Each structure stands twice: as structure tokens, then as C-alpha cells.
Amino acid sequence: MLELPLQGFLEIAAKSAVPERIGSCFMTEKPAAGQTATTGRFDIGEVAASFPSSAKTLLVDRYLTNREAASARVFRVYKPTPPHYHATCDEYLYVFSGRGTFWMTDAATIAEFGPGQLLFFEKGTVHALPDILEEPVVFLSVDTPRRDPKDIIFINPEDGTPESFVQQSY
């Protein structure tokens, strides 16, 4: 069993009906195919534990919500992440588990991160995760507005593509 800090729930305004358990979350209504619930409580530890121990891509993620105004997802980083940016959204990264190094804007800003820290950067900010010091590195991410999975621009195009960057887990 993977032991992770913050054994709580991310709670998103669950107001009415008795929740139905679907995988790693409780939802008050079952969403239509391809859509997310209007309310829910998500067990971030359970989502993190469901990720594979290795991946061919740099990271594996799972969207919890996917609204036009914002999306929330959990992702695990498997390999150091080269410099890149997102053209369409700001990103808030809550470190759920693991330790590594991260820089924003310039490699000279490199610093270690660990559980309980929040990393924030605006759209267009170049950032990288050059070192994984302790696994698993898992983030809870909130993107405003919603981030299209293909919105990843590598500074060096030879470093990858959106397809080599992320594998979605459902």
C-alpha cells in the first residue's frame, strides 16, 4: 500500500443527493460519457495509488473536473521534465507526495519541492522539473482556465510532443 500524506478529501460543494461511489470519488450524479460530475469528493491518495509504477510518458494524469473555467487533475511524474510552457492557462501545483527540483522562468530559480508545497505560475511561464529526488512525485493540479492536454510547448521541440508528455488515466 502506497502511504501518502494528506489523507483527506478534496471536497467540491456536494449539496444534495446521496453520493454514489465511482472509482476514486463520490459523485452526486453520474456524468454523461466524456463529461465530469457537477459535484464530487475525490480521494487524492486513492487516485495517486492507482497510477502505474512506471510509464513510457513523462507523466500520467487523471482529470477530476474539466470545466471551461478550470480543470483539476492528479498526475504522477515518472521522468525529469524538460523546459516547457502552457499557452492557455495558469497552473497551481500542490505537491501531494515525493520530492524533486523545479524551476520557473529561469533555470537559476531552481529549488527543491516537497509535500505540502504549492507551486504557481502564469500561462506562458517556462518551467521544468529537472530532478526527481524521492518517488512517487504526485501533484494535484488546478489549471485556470481549463488546460487542453495538447497545450504543452517544449522549448526544445526535440524534447517531446504532447503525446510523449502525458498519458491520461481514467
CA–CA distance, 74 with 66 (Å, rounded to integer)? 12
Q: Which residue has the cell 527543491?
A: 112
Q: What is the pLDDT of residue 4?
A: 37
Of the two residues 123 and 169, the one the predictor is more confident about is 123
Map out the domains of the chain with their CATH numbers. 52-168 (2.60.120.10)
Query: 3-state class of 96 per DSSP?
Result: strand
Helix (H) or strand (E) holding 164: helix 162-165
State pTM to two decimals.
0.78
CA–CA distance, 166 with 110 (Å, rounded to integer)? 23
Q: What is the pLDDT of residue 39?
A: 83
CA–CA distance, 144 with 65 (Å, rounded to integer)? 12
CA–CA distance, 152 with 7 (Å, rounded to integer)? 31
Give the mean pLDDT of 138-162.
92
List pLDDT tens digits, range 103-121.
Answer: 999 999 999 999 999 999 9
Q: What is the pLDDT of residue 161?
A: 84
List pLDDT tens digits, range 2-37.
Answer: 443 333 323 333 333 334 444 545 444 455 666 656
Q: What is the pLDDT of residue 167?
A: 66
